[in-house]
Amino acid sequence: MTVTHTDPVGYGLNFVDQDDFPLNPYIGQQLTLKWHGEIRCQHCGRASKKSFSQGYCYPCSQRLAQCDLCVMSPERCHYDKGTCREPAWGEEFCMQSHIVYLANSSGIKVGITRPSQLPTRWLDQGAVQALPIMRVASRQLSGFVEVLYKAHVSDKTHWQRMLKSSGEPLDLVALRDELYPLVQTEIEALQATHGLNAVMPILDVEPLAINYPVQQYPEKVKSMNLEKTPEVSGVLQGIKGQYLIFDTGVINLRKYTGYDIEVSA
């Protein structure tokens, strides 16, 4: 889904062969999704029986740097060893400035992203608050910093909890200031190795508050799967993160990147 940081967040379906399909106007209405059984790789367009790495065929998932394990675990980046699958891609996406942040999605979590992906990254996670806390010189360094914070806060969003409510507000500035002394020694060690400017705390930014278009949150979260039930339907009660919230269940649309899906309202 495409996302726009408005109040509330604006959502649309991103189709290959037509303009984006705005979803917010259909909240409160009956919506049907029907999968026709076809999957195509979002990179090469090849037909595939199964989707790998959220939208790729198997050969692309094994060849592309964006599908490597280090994308999910950036501290395992091996660019400096000369073994990156696509060095040019690594230069453009990994050997660039990254942001380490705190977010309130299903509670406090730490995460990383490129500056160009803000606030989209937070919207995709269903965060109701977010605060950048560190700017670093590369994706690998962001992974090193994230690992330090992971010893004290989660790096995961508990999606069921995130979908059950609008979330309790947190004092992210206070949490940032409480957490930094716990990792300060290790941060200073990274600065000594990579340079003071390579790992820089961010202290002059206010938390961002995010409001999602949800009329009603579910009491129980029932996940719907198009591979098991190719047609799902219900009253669209809201959208949060990459999830459509129906009165019949919830569905994570990111999982179906590259799927041939018909949408009717």
**Which residues are within 8 A (CB) of 116 and not within 5 positions of it... i.e. 6 or more apart?**
none
Q: What CA–CA distance (Å, rounded) separates 161 from 65?
A: 32
b/e 102-140 (16+ beta carbons within 10 angstroms → b): bbbbbbbbbbbbeeeebbebbbbbbbbbbbbbbbbbbbb
Could you say which DSSP state residue 127 is in?
Answer: -
Looking at the chain, how many residues does it have?
265
Q: Are 145 and 190 spatial neighbours (Cβ–Cβ below 8 Å)? A: yes
Using 50 as the pLDDT threshold, list the residues of the chain that sit under it: none
In sequence order, what are the beta bridge partners of 148? Answer: none
Q: What CA–CA distance (Å, rounded) separates 144 from 152?
A: 14
Q: Amino acid letter at 6?
A: T
pLDDT reported for residue 231:
97
Tokens of 136: 């670093």
Q: Which domain holds residue 234?
A: 2-264
**Is the pTM value of this prediction over 0.85?**
yes
**Which residues are within 8 A (CB) of 218 and not within 5 positions of it... i.e. 6 or more apart?**
163, 164, 237, 245, 249, 250
pLDDT reported for residue 21:
86
Burial class (CB in 10 A: 0-12, 13-18, 19+), 49: exposed
Q: Are 256 and 13 spatial neighbours (Cβ–Cβ below 8 Å)? A: no
Q: Looking at the 3D structure of the chain, how many domains does it have?
A: 1
pLDDT reported for residue 206:
96
Tell me which residue of 215, 221, 228, 211 sits closest to 250, measured CA to CA. Answer: 221
Q: Are 158 and 107 spatial neighbours (Cβ–Cβ below 8 Å)? A: yes
